[in-house]
Structures are given as structure tokens and as C-alpha cells.
Structure 1
């Protein structure tokens, strides 16, 4: 015999019930069945709400009853032929009338006892099971209905009655010994006391009903039919990459169901565990799916972790004080207090010093527990031997579960390291001697990030998902997104990195999509996005609280650079080509670097110098290996190099500067490049990364621009001034040719001093043949004395800058 249980979503409406009937009819061809059903979806909640409203003298309970009645009558009309409906409609109407009478009593008495509540809540299963039994008879004549209250007997602990297995098992075996129908339909959740009073088995009790029947009849297996393909490695509503678990042991299933795996009610396992009756979790809407098979066998697997689960709405209560050390009975008194208040303890940990005991309970019990504990220990508290209990609400318990975890080293280390890298603060830790479960208490707002990062670590072949928040989508930003779209497949297959652009913003609009923006449509989505605002952007990044978040700044905006601190403090990595932050006051530069270390949030700015060239990265390796930089000589402006390489007798200085802007080599304000400010910032960053303290004001800037050009206030005026002062630039060119030199804008650092300025470069210099938009940097160090370490290549342009930003993002992924 097989026991099948169908949950609320499986019997939510007539359409779903037809799927249930099809499954039952097919299985009945091979096996004798007991079919246990839940109430129609949401009906138990409606019954509870109606009873509360009635007891509160709120007449709207009548509207709820009408809604419940309509839901069931509609199902009858779809499931039962018109000619067969009369008797069933009358029966359902009698049940509804009985329900109305009970609720009217609650309304008149302004009272709702636990006994009355159990009776009212039982109506959901009574209605659904009777309708489904009658519908089944239309297809399967050899089927019947049996009221569970006649077979399952309990005590009178209303709300969650304890089953009297001795009596119940005898009643169940006696009934089925004389029953010859192929299928028996029974209501789940409900039972009765020995003297016939209605009781319930607790929320989720329909699973328990099915298990009680299975255990009593020594069934071949117990099938739990629900709306998912079995138990998952994590909650699929939170972790999109969660996978169904094919096989799992009873103990593992109990651990996962205790820690929030909603597809299975924890007490379900007990009656079948004793008899070694396997449980199969199946999907009503995908009956061909494999599902999850639960048995007493521990399956060997390369992955010792079977699942990651969690419990929301947890409060952590800590009792501590010197008066607990070496004093026998403190723990006993604490747990007795909680027991007297009927408070369930979900989590326990105690320091080996006996100085404190920490427990986890539901938020709803927190105030009661706090008052009761403080009252029980009021003498010790008044004597300052014990502190008033510390209460921390709105927490969550996450747990790794697996029978084979005890045979693998370092699992807890991987777990806590993974959480730490994403700045998930752990409030408490517990692990049983069986090592089947490692539990940690974290802030509730971090649960999504925690579950996803742990799932990546233990179930996704170390695939890491990076969530990008991109600000600035001009020439460079557009190329950056284009490169992401182009390389997505390669990164996933070869580097195990999944890149998602979660937000894009320009100066006018911004657009967010938590599931990742479709990159082929990003421009149109952005155009129709909300008004851009830096503070709102930051707020949304914080509220999403996604794992492996990276803020990508592709602007030259000072205001944006001033927001980095807020991102780093939220464990959001910062990747930027914006030079302003790292060339700002030295104290701010050091603060950002310190915050990066403190919050484990990478702060990468390779493209601040040399666009896509590995200049800063190389410099970091030099310093890390113990080398010391003594001198730097460099041409650091790809735009200025492009300008002076193309400025000749046939191309005016004005026209070449214009062309550099068109090709994206200059900043939006070209004066930043031509004034030498941009180069000064770059050499300053290299000096600081070399370990020296310096401010931008300390760098001598020998500008080649006339004072009138520097004094302009907008681009239009600036370009006019270049035409006005054309002879000045022509004279510079003539002088260079006369000296058989080329013009290069050079940055130098030596003996603690730095300067930037236009220089006449002779043929023997490595700078002389620097073509196009190339940059060149020479590092003279303790190890590179006679011949400097030289880095040379394209140092400007949208594509190369975007590739440098892209490389920094990948570096974050590999950290």
C-alpha cells in the first residue's frame, strides 16, 4: 500500500485538483492507495482570520465565510457533473452552516478558545477532502472517503495535539483490514481526542497525518506531493541556482526541514523513520520529475553538504555574568523558565568559561522570554552577579546540513570564510557532536546574500556571480558593457565567473534590475529609467545587499568619487577609472585604502594610470616583493601624446585637440588634459602607490598653455582661445624641430620631488619614438638600477580603458 499526500497548492482550485485526480487514477492501477489532502490553498488562513474577526466583534467575518463557500462551490461546479452535484452541494452547505454557527458564537461571546479554534480550522480539510473524494468517484468507482478524526486519536493539547499511537495504530489497522476499496481519501491535519473532541496536529499537520497512516499500515512508501521538484539545496525563491536533491537520509531531511525547508513538516519523519518507510517528495505539476527520495541510507557523494537552509525571525538572548561561572544549575533554571512559558528554543551555544549562555528563539517569543528570564534571575541581577539578559531581534539562523560533513576537514572554515568575504557578520555559532549541522546566526537583512554565497561555494563548482552597479555609460561605459556581453560565455566556462549588470546610470537616468539587466536592451531600458540621483543610487545598492557587489565608476565626476567611502563600508567593491579620489587629499586616499581592508571590499583603480596598461598592478607587485621605487619617468597622457604626435605644419593645434576629443582620448573637458592636471594626478597616484606621501600641490606643473587659455570657463571659450593663441603653439613646434626633438609631456619623480611639463625629447630617449596615444613608464628601483623597468602601450581610448576596467572587475572575482 502507498500513502499519497497532496498539499494546499496541489488542491488550490479545480484545475489543480484535476491533475491530482489524474495522478491518483494512474497510480491506483498498480497499488492500493490512501490519499491524504490538505485544505484548499489559503483556506486555513481565511478560517483563522474569520475566527479572529468574529471574536473581535468584526462582522466582516461573514464576508470571509462567503469567500470560503464560493471557493468550494466553484470547485464542485467544475469537477462534478451537474446531475451529480445536488447531494454534494447540500452536504457542503451543511458544513458551511455549521462553520457559520461556530463563528456566530465567537462573535456573540467575544471569545475564541483554543478548542473552538481547532474545530473552526478543521473545516478546511473537511471541505476539501469530501469534494476530492466525490470527484475521484467520477473516474474511479472503487474509491471511498474516511474521516481522519475517527482513526487518529490525540490528547487535548489544542493547536498541536500529541498523537496516542497505541490507540490510533489499532484503529487504523482495523479499518483498513476490512476496507476493500482501491483508494481511500482522508483529510489531513485533523484528529480527535479519545472523547471525540476535534483537535489538530499543528500547521503542516497533513504531512503528519499521512506519515501516521503510513507507519500504522507499514506502507511501501510515503509520497508527499507539492509544488516543487523535491527538497532543494537551498530555498529556490532566494537562491535561483538551487538544485533538487535526488537522495537524502532521514536525519538530513529532518535537519533541513527543521531549518525552514518548507516542503516537509519536521514531525512527519518520525512515524516512518521507525519503520524505515521511504518518503518521496514529488511535484504535482511535473509528475515526471524525479523528486527527492528520503530513506535511512546515507549516500556517498563528492559533496559532503546536502543542503543549506535557514530560519527567519529569530531573536538571540544572551544571559551572562560572573555569577554564572562554576555555579551549578544556571542552565537548568534558564531552560525551565522558557519551558514554563512554552517557548521553543531553536538554537543554543555556551562559552566554555560558563560566563554566558546564548539561545535563539522566535521574535514573537522575545518579549515574554526577556521578562521571564529577568524575573527568574532578579536576585542575581540586583547583586550585579548576572546582567539583565541581552536581546537582539531580527536575526536569522543559517545552517549547512550533511551526513558526511563529519568526514571532511575544513567545512566550517570555508563556510565562515565565504561569509566573511561578503561582510556577513556572524553573531553566534553552533555545531553538534554529530557534525551533521553547522549553524550560524546572522542579521536577517544578510540572509539572501549569505545563502547565495554559500550555495556558490558548496554547490556551483566555485562559480562566482559578480553584481555590477555601473555609473557612467558614455564612450568608455558603452564599450565596457559591450565587452561584458561579448565575454559572458567565456568567463562562465573558463573562469567560473558570472557577470551581471544590476544597475546602469548616466547623468540623467538610472535603471535597476535585481535579476540582471538584459544587455542587448540596456540603452532603451536606461532611457526609460528613473531620474538619476547619487544618493538614491547608493540607497538602492545598500537595500539590494547583493553578494559580490561591485560599484563601477566610469565618470570623471568629483561628486561620484566622494561616494566611494559609503560603498566600501557596505562591503561593495569599487572599481574606478576616475582619478579624483586617489589624487585627492592624502588622508582621503589612505582612508579609502584602509576601508577597503577593513570591510574586505576591493578598491581597484588600474585605469587611473595608463588606461588598460598593467602599470599600477606591476607597481604593487614590486612593492609587495620588497623593492623600492627611487625614480619614475613617464609619458602618462595618451591624449597629449596623440595631440603632439599629430600636431604639425598641416594640422593646427586646435584641430588636433578637437580630433582627440572626437576619438575619446581626452576628458569631456579637454583643459583637464592640456593643463597638465590629469598628468599630475597620475604621477601622484604612482608616487603614493610607491609608498611616498605627497599632495597634488607638491607637484610642479609647468603648463605650456597661455594664461588666457587656462582662464577660460567652458569648452567653447577654450577652443576659441586655442585659435587665438595658435602662434604660441606653432612656435613650440618650430623650436622642437630646430632642436631635432619631439614634444612630449613628461612626468618625473626623483628625490622626493615631482614635476610635470612639456619637454623637448631628443632622439636617443626611449620617449622619442612614442607614437599615437601610447604611454610609457620607467621605474628605477633598488633592483632596476641601470636599466629601468619599462611599461609601454596604448594609454588612452574607450576600448583599452574599458578593458582595463574589465580586468579590475575580473580581479575582484578572483580575490
Structure 2
């Protein structure tokens, strides 16, 4: 004999009933089959709604009841031939009439007892099995409909179920010994209490029905057919990478189902464990797949952690006060009060000081639990020995589950480090002595983020998902998107990094996609996207609340730079080529560094100096290794270097500047580069990275531009003025030429002071013969006092700047 159970999703429509009947026939060809059915999908919820509406004297319960009746009558007409419909239609109408009578009484009394709720909610299974058994008889005449209420005896207090196994087992064995059918159709969920009043086994109780029957009949297996292919490593609706577990132990299944894995009703395991009866969880829609086998041992699992699960309908209650310390029996009073009120405690944690006990209960029981505890300890609360109990809502429990966890060190640390790194605060922690479960209470809003983080940490091929939000998609941003698209496969294969661009914006529009923006059509998609503001962009990223989020700023905007602190406070890393933040007041620079450390985020700005050159990284490594900076000399402006490398007093100066703009070597306003402000910001950043507390005003600036050009109202006026100033530029060039020297705009830091300005550089100097837009930095340190450490290469241009930003993103991924 085999026993099969089909859930509501498997019998949600006549088409699905027809499909599963073929599966049942495969089993019934060779042996007898007991088939347990749930109500049609959604019907139990509808019945509970009918009861609640009737209690609240809401006449609309009648409309919902009519809808339930219509659904079942239509199923009869679709599944059965006309000549065989009459008896079943009559039975369905009889059930509905009984329901109407019960609901009318509830309506008139405005009262809905637990007993009445159990009776009303059980009609779904009686209706479904009446129809399905008649349909199965069409192909197997020897099909018998069994009334589970005559077999299973239980005691219910609210929704807490206790099965009386001895009388139930006796009735089940007697019934199957006295009847002979090929297919037994059994309504799940329903039973009777010891007084003979109809009751239920709790939500999800059809699984329990199958288990009770399987244990009583001493079968080898119980098949649970549902809408998913077994129990998963995590909820597949929240974690796209989750996959089915082929083998797990009874204990692991119990933990997973208790902590929210809805594939299996938790009490289902109890009657099966002692008799070592396997449970096979399979999908009705893919019955050939392996599914999950639950048995005595899970040795076939090779992972330390078997699954990650959660419960989100939870509230915390904290009992604390000095009056608890060292008082015998305090915990007994607390838990006894909850027990007598029928309140189940989901999680417990107690401080070793005995100063507080934190418990988690279902959120629909939280108010009653609080009132019960405050009443029980009224004297202690009044005297100030303990504080009044308060409820903390909007929390959830996440749990790691696995038999092998007890054999492996460091799992707790790995779990909490992953959560902490992504700014997920842990409110309470519990770990059983068996070490099979590590549970943590977190904010409900962080559940999806936490599940994905932990799944990535414990189950996926060692890889890391980075979620990028990029503002500024012009020259540099556009190149960055091209590079990301080109390197996608390489990053995943070689570095185990999955980099997704989920948000982009310019000064007018912003585009988001939780599945990743299509990098082939982002320009068109962005043009048709929502209106943008820095605040809206930030709030959307914050609301998405994704792990490993990185904000990338490719602008030169002071406004955007002002938002960095908000991102860092939410553990969102910042990568920027925008120098404004790091060259702002030292107080702001230091605050950003502190925020990054405090909230476990990265704040990277390698491209602030030298575009893609590793200048800041080199300096930070020197300082971290204990070296001391004696002097820094540098050509730090790729744009100025390009201008003076190409200016030979033949083509006008203003023409060379225009060419630099066209090739992306300058800021949109070229005065930022030509005035020396940009270089001053760069040497200021290097000074701060060297440990100096300098401000921008402390940098000595020697400008080669006229005051009139620097104060021009716009770019057009600026170019008009420098065109008129051509003679002064010619003079500078020829003076340098006469000395056999080149003009370079040089930044220098020495003895705690910094300066920038145009200098004549002779042939033997390392700055001579710099080509194109190259930058060069000379680090004179205690380790390199005579021959400096030199970093040299292209220091401007969209491609190299984008590559520097890309490198910072990868640096975060490798962290």
C-alpha cells in the first residue's frame, strides 16, 4: 500500500485534478493507494473569511459563500458526465446548506468560537474529496471515500493540535482491515475531538493526516505532492538561486518547517520518526523529479548548512529588571503564564546576568502575551523591580539549519559577519545545545536581503554579487558601462564576481531594474525613464535594500558629493571620481572615512588622482606599512599636460584647449583644470592621505591665466579672453624653449606645505618628455629618500578614468 497526499495547489482547478488522476492510476495499477486531498486551492482561506464576515455582521459573507458553492458546482459539471452529476451536486448543496446554517448562527450571535471555526474551515476538504472521489471512480470503480473524522481523534486548544494516537491508530487499522478498495480517498485536515465534535488538525493539516495514516498502517513511505519540487535551501520566492535538497534528516526538516518552510506542516514528522518512515516531497507538476527525501540520516548532504529559513510574523517581548536577578522560579512563572494562556514561545534568549529574558511569539499573540505577563508580574512592575513588558513589532527570525553544523567551527561568526557587513542589525540570538540551528532576530524589512546574503555565503559556488547604482552616464559613465558589459563573463569565471547594474541616472532621468539594466539599450530606456533627483535616487536604492550595494558617482557635482554620507550610513559603498568630497573641508573628509569604517562600507576614490593610475593605493600602502612621506612631486593634470605637450606656439593656445575638451581630457568647464584648482584638490587629497590636516586654502596656487579669463561668465567668454591673451602664452613657451626646458604644471608637497604652479622642467628631470595626457608622481619617503618611487601613466581620459572606477568596484568585490 502507498499513501499520497495532494495539496490545495494540486487540486486548484479541474484541469489539475485530471492531470493528477493519471499519477494516482500509475500507483494503483500494482498496489492499493490511500490518497489524502486538501481543499481546492484558496477555499480554506475563503471559508475562514466567510466565518469572520458573519461574526462581524457583514452580509457580504453570503456572496462569498455563493462564490464557493459556484466553484464546486462548476467543478462537478466539468469533471463528471451528466448522468453521474446528480448525486454529487446534491451532496455539494447539502454541505453548502449546512455551512449557511452555521454562518447564520454566527451572524445572529456575532460570536465565533474556536470550535465553530474548526467546523467551518473543515468543509473545504469534504467538498473537494466528494468531487474528486467521484471523478476517480470513472477510471477505478473500486474507489472508496473515507471520512477521516471517523478515524482521527484529536484535542484542540485554539490552534494547538494534540492527536490522541492510541484511539486513532486503533480506528485506522480496524477500518482498513474491514474494507477493501483499490483507491481510498481521504479528506485531509479534518478530525473529531474526544466528544465527537468535528475539528481540524491545524493549517497545513493534510500533511499531518497522511503521516498519521502512514504511521498507523506501518507503511515504508509517505508521498507529499505539492507545487514545488521538494524542500529548498531557502525560499525560492525570495532567493532566486535556491535549489531543492535531495536528502535531509527528520530533525533538519523539523527545524526548517518550524522556521517557516511551508512545504511541510511541522507536526507531520512526529508520528513517522519512531517508525523510520520516509517522507518523499515531490511536485505534482514535475512528478518524475527526485524531490526531497526525509529520513533518519542526512549523510548524503555534503554541506555544513542544510538550509536557511525564516519566520516573518513575529514580535519580540522583553522582560527585564533588577528584580529578576537571582530570584528562583522567575522563569517558571513567566513561561507558565504563557502556557496557561495557550501562547507558544518561538524563541528564547536570556542574558547570563539574569537581568533580562527576551522571547519571540507570533505577532497575532503578542498583545495577549504582553498583557498576560504584565498581569502576572503586576506587583514587580508596580514596585519598579522589573519594567513593564513592551512589544517590538516588524521583526523576523532567520535561521541556519543543518545536522553537520555542530562539527564545524566558525559558522556563527561567518553568519553574523555577513549580516553585519551589510548593515543588518541583530536584535536577539538563540542557538540550541544540539547546534543544529542558529537563529537571529532581525528587522522584517531586511529578510530578503539577509536570506540572499546567507545563501550566497553558504550555498553558492564561491562568488559575490555586487549591485551597482551609477549616477553620471556621460563620457566616463558610458565607458564604464561598456567595460562592465564586456567583462561580465570574465569577472564571473575568473574572479567569481557577478556585477549587476541595477540603477543609472543623469541630471534629468533615473532608471532602475531589480533584474539588472539591459546594457545594450540603456540610453533609450533612460530617456523614457522617471524624473530624477539626488534624493529620489538615494531613497530608491535605500528602499531596494540589496546586499553589496555600491553607489558610483561619475559626476563633478558638489550636490551629489553631499549625499555620500547618506549612502555610507546605510552601508552602501561609494566609488567616485568626483574630487569635491575628498577636497572639501578636512572635517567632511574625515567624517566620510569614519562613516565608512563605522558602517562597514567602502569609500574608494582612486580616480580622484591620476584617473586609473594606482597613486592613492600606492600611498596608502606606504603609510600602512610604516613608511613616512618626505616629499611628493607630481604632474597631476592630464589635461594640463596634454595642453602644454601640444602647445608649440604655432597653433593658438585656445585651439589646443578646445581639442583637450573634445577628447575628454578636461572637465566640462576647462577653467577647473587650467586654473590649477583641480591640481590643488589632488595634491590636497594626497596630503591628507599622508596624514596632514590641510585645507584647500592652504595650497599655494600660481596661476598662468589672467584674472579676466578666470572670472569669465561662461565658457564662450573664457575662450574669447584666452584668444586675446595669446601673446602671454607665446611668451611663456618661448622663455622655456630658450632654456631648453618644457612647461609642466607641477604639484609639490614638502615639510607639511603644498603648492601648485607652472614650472620649467629640464631634460634630465623625470617630468621631461611626458607624452599626451600622462601623469607622474614621485614619492620620496624614508625608504625611498634619493631615488623616488615613481608612478607614471595616462592620467586623463574617459577610458582610463572608467577603468580606475572599475578597479575600485572590483576591489570592493574582493574584500
Normalising by structure 1, what TM-score?
Answer: 0.98
1:157 CA drift (Å): 3.9
Deviation at 1:160, TM superposition (A): 4.4
Q: Distance in 2 between matches of 1:156 and 1:244?
A: 34
* Alpha-carbon offset, residue 209 of structure 1: 0.7
Query: What's the counterpart of residue 119 of structure 2?
Result: 119
CA contact (8 A) 1:777 1:790 kept: yes
Alignment of 1:577-616 (within 5 A): 577-616=577-616
Q: Report the Cα offset of residue 159 of structure 1.
A: 4.4
**1:681 aligned to 2:650?**
no
Q: How does 1:263-274 map to 2 (within 5 A)?
A: 263-274=263-274
The C-alpha deviation readout for 1:370-420, integer Å capped at 9, x for no partner, is 222222222222333222234322111111111111111111111111111
Q: Residue 520 of structure 1: SS of its match in structure 2?
A: coil
- Cα deviations across residues 150-189 of structure 1 (Å, max 9, x unaligned)? 2112236464442221111111111112332221111111
* Residues 244-292 of structure 1: per-residue CA shift (max 9 Å, x gap): 1110000000001000001000000001112111001101111122100
Per-residue CA distance 1:484-542 (angstroms, 9 max, x = gap): 11111111112111111111101110011122222222222211110011111111111
Counterparts of 1:765 and 1:78 in 2: how far apart (Å)?
93
Q: Which residue does 1:201 correspond to in 2?
A: 201
- Secondary structure of the residue aligned to 1:446 is helix
Q: Any residues of structure 2 matched to 1:780-791 within 5 Å, and which?
A: 780-791=780-791
Q: Aligned runs of 1:662-701 on 2, under 5 Å?
A: 662-701=662-701
1:231 and 1:607 mapped to 2: Cα distance?
47
Look up the SS of the partner of 1:272 in the other structure: helix
Matched position secondary structure for 1:504: strand
- Deviations along 1:62-110, whole A, 9 cap, x unmatched? 1101211222223223322333323322221222222122222222222
- How far apart, in 1, do the equivalents of 2:62 and 2:408 lie? 59
Q: Take 1:617 and 1:489, find their aligned partners in 2: how far apart are those partners?
A: 26
Q: Distance in 1 between matches of 2:670 and 2:96?
A: 80
The answer as to whether partners of 1:188 and 1:206 remain within 8 angstroms in 2 is: yes
**803-812 or 26-35, larger mean C-alpha shift:** 26-35
CA RMSD of aligned residues (A): 1.4
- Cα distance between partner residues in 2 of 1:329 and 1:247: 42
Residue 238 of structure 2 corresponds to 238
Q: How many residues align?
A: 815
Measured in 1, the distance between the counterparts of 2:156 and 2:637 equals: 84
Could you say which residue in structure 1 is the equivalent of 2:388? 388
Residue 23 (1) aligns with residue 29 (2): no
The answer (yes or no) to whether the contact 1:609–1:636 under 8 Å persists in 2 is yes
* Deviation for aligned residue 1:356: 1.7
Q: Secondary structure at the match of 2:163?
A: coil
Per-residue deviation, 1:16:
1.9
Q: Which moved more, 1:140-149 or 1:611-620?
A: 140-149
Deviation at 1:138, TM superposition (A): 2.0
Which residue number corresponds to residue 556 of structure 1? 556
Q: 1:797 to 1:31 in 2, by over 3 A?
A: farther
Aligned to 2:277: 277
Q: CA separation in 1, counterparts of 2:359 and 2:55?
A: 35
Name the residue aligned to 1:437.
437
User: Structure 2 unaligned runs (5+)?
Assistant: none
- Cα shift at 1:462: 2.7
Deviating more after overlay: 570-579 vs 189-198: 189-198
8 Å Cα contact 1:144/1:184 also seen in 2? yes
- Equivalent position SS for 1:433: coil
- Confirm or deny that 1:749 pairs with 2:772: no
State the alpha-carbon separation in 1 of the partners of residues 453 and 113 from structure 2: 45
Distance 1:478 1:157 in 2: 64
- 3-state secondary structure, aligned to 2:138: helix
Q: Match for residue 737 of structure 2? A: 737
Mapped contact 1:14–1:75 kept (Cα < 8 A): yes
CA offset digits 1:117-166 (Å, max 9, x no partner): 21211111111111111122223333221121121122364644422211
**SS at 1:519 equivalent:** coil
Q: CA deviation at 1:234?
A: 0.8
Q: Counterpart of 2:656?
A: 656
Distance 2:78 2:680 in 1: 79
Counterpart of 2:177 in structure 1 is 177
SS of the counterpart of 1:96? helix
Please report how far the alpha carbon of residue 323 of structure 1 lies from its aligned counterpart in structure 2 after TM superposition: 2.0
SS of corresponding position for 2:85: helix
Rounded Cα–Cα distance in structure 2 between residues aligned with 1:81 and 1:468: 59
CA distance in 2, matches of 1:805, 1:655: 30
2:575 is the alignment partner of 1:575:
yes
Q: By how many angstroms is 1:195 displaced?
A: 4.0
Residues 798-807 or 69-78, more deviating: 69-78
Q: Distance in 2 between matches of 1:361 and 1:609?
A: 54
Instruction: Determine the C-alpha separation between the residues in 1 that align with 2:378 and 2:269.
Output: 41
1:622-652 CA deviation, whole Å, 9 max, x = no partner?
0000011111110111111111111224422
- Distance in 1, Cα, partners of 2:378 & 2:109: 39
Aligned to 1:520: 520
Aligned partners of 1:53 and 1:61 also within 8 Å: yes
**Counterparts of 2:17 and 2:359 in 1: how far apart (Å)?**
43
Q: State the distance in 2 between where 1:141 and 1:724 align.
A: 105
* Aligned positions of 1:459-498 closer than 5 A: 459-498=459-498
Following superposition of structure 1 onto structure 2, how do residues 256-655 of structure 1 map, counting pairs within 5 Å?
256-655=256-655
Q: Secondary structure at the match of 1:524?
A: helix
Quick one: distance in 1 between partners of 2:813 and 2:593? Answer: 19
Is residue 118–residue 158 contact of structure 1 (8 Å, CA) maintained in 2?
A: no
Structure 2: how far apart are the matches of 1:17 and 1:723? 85
Aligned to 1:94: 94
Q: 3-state SS of the aligned residue for 1:438?
A: strand
CA contact (8 A) 2:247 2:301 kept: no
Distance 1:78 1:732, change over 3 A: farther
1:77 alignment counterpart: 77
Does 1:220 find its partner at 2:220? yes
More off after superposition, 139-148 vs 321-330: 139-148
C-alpha distance in 2 between matches for 1:400 and 1:506: 42
Cα distance in structure 1, aligned partners of 2:766 and 2:73: 90
Instruction: State how 1:763-782 maps to structure 2 within 5 Å.
Output: 763-782=763-782
Take 1:288 and 1:709, find their aligned partners in 2: how far apart are those partners? 79
Greater mean deviation of Cα atoms: 57-66 or 95-104: 95-104
2:797 corresponds in structure 1 to 797
Counterpart contact for 2:231–2:263, Cα < 8 Å: yes
Distance 1:462 1:130 in 2: 52
**Within 2, Cα distance between the matches of 1:365 and 1:42?**
24
Q: Is the 8 A contact 2:247 2:300 kept in 1?
A: no
* Worse-superposed segment, 76-85 or 449-458: 76-85
Name the CA distance, whole Å, in 2 between partners of 1:239 and 1:636: 46
- Alpha-carbon distance in 2 for matches of 1:156, 1:756: 83
Alignment of 1:131-150 (within 5 A): 131-150=131-150
Aligned counterparts of 1:340 and 1:158: Cα–Cα separation in 2: 12
